[in-house]
């Protein structure tokens, strides 16, 4: 973001997020829905390396540390197999924790300097507990009524990013194997972008991945223009072959 016009655009976007931040530190989807707390993690990403918004980032991280979804001890007759008592983060306040918002919050806390916090360690436990027996993740269920559910590339990519440096390769190898088998030819920007970032976080990114990104961009001629979020995700995937955290650790890329 070396160009002055780009720096000004970024500063205004960060300040817009700061204006929307609520007193307790959350950044919700809209003022009308303060219970939709999941964008708080994304705001932490956006305020990275911005001295003017350091306090905003700290308040958002504090909100994440002190918030959690609903959790309860799992009973023997529960229909789902995952451990419902491990604390993570929900999409919506006061609901059950799921894989993607937990992974995004874990990433946000690591980026904000809280990598050693107990909430990060517990979130790691939750994500490993939600890993499907055959590999990969979906929204956060593993088995329901003894039937294994299907993984999804997008969810798997987000979680693999979050688990970088949090666990051993052996614990997630089956998920890497699943994602490597699915990433070839993924047509949509969100699934492709997150999948490549997730594989990159574990140095398992296939060599032709830039070509897949360019092919995905060409799909706009057939299906219409992607929104800013989708284009941004593809750009990050192109520029960060080592995963999402790489772009935050390299000032020249963020």
Residues 62 and 76 grouped into a single domain: no
Q: What share of the chain is helix, strand, coil (3-state, %, to 5)?
A: 55, 5, 45
Q: What is the pLDDT of residue 251?
A: 55
Residues 34 and 96 grouped into a single domain: no
How does 141-160 read in b/e, with b if 16+ C-beta sit within 10 Å?
Answer: bbeeeeeebebbbbbbbbbb
Task: For residue 4, tell me if it sits in a domain.
Answer: yes
Percent of the chain topping pLDDT 70: 97
Q: What is the pLDDT of residue 250?
A: 62
On whether the CB atoms of residues 131 and 139 are closer than 8 A, the answer is no
Residues 207 and 81 grouped into a single domain: yes
- Beta strands 143-144 and 147-148 are antiparallel
Put residue 94 in one of left, alpha, beta given phi > 0 → left and psi -120 to 50 → alpha: left
Distance CA 137, CA 79 (A): 18
Task: For residue 23, tell me if it sits in a domain.
Answer: yes
Distance CA 193, CA 208 (A): 14
Residues 107 and 200 grouped into a single domain: yes
Coil, strand or helix at 110 = helix
- What number is the average pLDDT over the span 182-196? 96
Range of the domain at 97: 68-249
Q: Which of 51, 67, 83 is the last residue of a domain?
A: 67
Task: For residue 145, tell me if it sits in a domain.
Answer: yes
Residues 96 and 136 grouped into a single domain: yes
Residues 186 and 96 grouped into a single domain: yes
Q: Which of 177, 221, 224, 176 is nearest to 201 (CA)?
A: 176
Q: What is the pLDDT of residue 172?
A: 99
Q: How confident is the model at residue 161 (pLDDT cuts 50, 70, 90)?
A: very high
Residues 8 and 40 grouped into a single domain: yes
Residues 54 and 179 grouped into a single domain: no
Count: domains in the chain: 2
Looking from the CA of 162 toward its CB, the CA atoms found within 13 Å total 30
Task: For residue 238, tell me if it sits in a domain.
Answer: yes
Task: For residue 254, tell me if it sits in a domain.
Answer: no
Per residue in 37-90, pLDDT tens?
999 999 999 999 999 999 999 999 999 999 988 999 999 999 999 999 999 999
Residue 106: which CATH number?
Answer: 1.50.10.20
Mean residue pLDDT of the chain comes to 95
Q: How confident is the model at residue 4 (pLDDT cuts 50, 70, 90)?
A: confident
pLDDT value at 254 more than 80: no
Residues 95 and 62 grouped into a single domain: no
Residues 153 and 59 grouped into a single domain: no
Residues 2 and 104 grouped into a single domain: no
Task: For residue 108, tell me if it sits in a domain.
Answer: yes
On whether the CB atoms of residues 49 and 7 are closer than 8 A, the answer is no
Q: Which of 19, 23, 15 is nearest to 47 (CA)?
A: 15
Task: For residue 77, tell me if it sits in a domain.
Answer: yes
Q: What is the pLDDT of residue 253?
A: 54
Residues 29 and 57 grouped into a single domain: yes
Q: Which of 67, 85, 100 is the last residue of a domain?
A: 67
pTM: 0.95
- Phi, psi of 147, rounded to the nearest 5 degrees: -105, 120
Q: What is the pLDDT of residue 109?
A: 98
Task: For residue 138, tell me if it sits in a domain.
Answer: yes
Q: Which of 36, 67, 98 is the last residue of a domain?
A: 67
Q: How confident is the model at residue 6 (pLDDT cuts 50, 70, 90)?
A: confident
Q: How confident is the model at residue 2 (pLDDT cuts 50, 70, 90)?
A: low
Number of other CB atoms surrounding residue 222 within 10 Å: 7
Q: How confident is the model at residue 238 (pLDDT cuts 50, 70, 90)?
A: very high
Distance CA 151, CA 90 (A): 19
């Amino acid at each position: 973001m070396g160009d002055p016009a780009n720096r000004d655009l970024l500063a205004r976007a960060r300040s817009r997020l700061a204006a929307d931040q609520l007193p307790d530190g959350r950044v919700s989807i809209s003022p009308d829905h303060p219970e939709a707390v999941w964008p708080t993690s994304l705001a932490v990403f956006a305020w990275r390396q911005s001295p003017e918004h350091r306090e905003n980032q700290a308040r958002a991280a504090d909100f994440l540390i002190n918030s959690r979804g609903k959790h309860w001890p799992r009973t023997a007759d529960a229909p789902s197999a995952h451990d419902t008592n491990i604390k993570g983060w929900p999409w919506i306040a006061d609901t059950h924790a799921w894989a993607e918002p937990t992974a995004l919050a874990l990433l946000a806390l690591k980026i904000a300097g809280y990598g050693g916090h107990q909430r990060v360690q517990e979130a790691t436990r939750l994500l490993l507990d939600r890993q499907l027996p055959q590999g990969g993740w979906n929204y956060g269920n593993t088995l329901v009524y003894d039937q294994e559910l299907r993984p999804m590339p997008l969810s798997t990519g987000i979680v693999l990013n979050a688990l970088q440096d949090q666990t051993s390769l052996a614990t997630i190898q089956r998920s890497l194997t699943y994602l490597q088998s699915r990433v070839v030819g993924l047509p949509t920007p969100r699934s492709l972008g997150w999948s490549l970032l997730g594989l990159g976080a574990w140095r398992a990114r296939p060599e032709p991945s830039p070509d897949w990104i360019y092919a995905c961009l060409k799909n706009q001629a057939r299906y219409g223009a992607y929104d800013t979020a989708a284009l941004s995700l593809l750009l990050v995937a192109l520029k960060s072959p080592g995963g999402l955290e790489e772009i935050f650790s390299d000032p020249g890329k963020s």
